[in-house]
Amino acid sequence: MLFYTAVLIAVLFSIQSIAFAQADPVERIWLNQEKTGKVQIYRARDGKLYGKIMWLSEPNKNGAPKVDDKNPDPKKRATPIMNLIILKGFTKSEENVYEGGTIYDPKNGKTYSCKMTLKGKSLDIRGFIGISLIGRTSVWTLAE
């Protein structure tokens, strides 16, 4: 019985090590270009990458937590900005490039197609409509 317990523990540690080793280098905490917010990028159960706002330099407005008041869906306008998922559905398309996702801008309530390119300790976030040639790139920096 002791042997089986030891084997089970060894297997669990191996699985945990493998899972940790497979974390993508983009799965970190990033500071936006304006230095007003931090976004945590993580892998969800569906295997895709998502990002949520986890820190704001000014988390309150008029004494209350900021909300998604520009959202086109009136039912979502009371949703707090903190922990709001703004990056959705990215997959790695090639080395250090992530595509197929969207970025939501709570400042104007619009969602754009998006491409992320990891460049060491910076992350190019390119939001666009239609093709990526017509868009804007914001450079985020590693916050950790």
Q: Are the C-beta atoms of 101 and 87 separated by less than 8 Å?
A: yes
Q: Any residues with CB less than 8 A from the CB of 46 and at least 6 apart, and which? A: none
pLDDT in tens, 14-60: 444 444 447 899 999 999 999 999 999 999 999 999 999 999 999 99
Give DSSP secondary structure letters for the chain: -HHHHHHHHHHHHHHHHHHHHT--TT-SEEE-TTSSEEEEEEE-TTS-EEEEEEEESS-EETTEE-B-TT-SSGGGTTSBSTT-EEEEEEEEEETTEEEEEEEEETTTTEEEEEEEEEETTEEEEEEESSSTTSEEEEEEEE--
Higher pLDDT: 14 or 127? It is: 127
Higher pLDDT: 133 or 117? It is: 117
Q: How much is the pLDDT for 110?
A: 96
Question: What are φ and ψ of residue 115, in 5° steps?
Answer: -130, 135
Class of domain 24-142: mainly beta
Considering the chain, what percentage of its residues have pLDDT values greater than 90? 80
Q: How much is the pLDDT for 133?
A: 79
Q: How much is the pLDDT for 20?
A: 47
Name the pTM for this structure: 0.83
In this predicted structure, the answer to whether residue 115 has a pLDDT above a threshold of 80 is yes
In this predicted structure, the answer to whether residue 130 has a pLDDT above a threshold of 90 is no
In this predicted structure, the answer to whether residue 4 has a pLDDT above a threshold of 90 is no
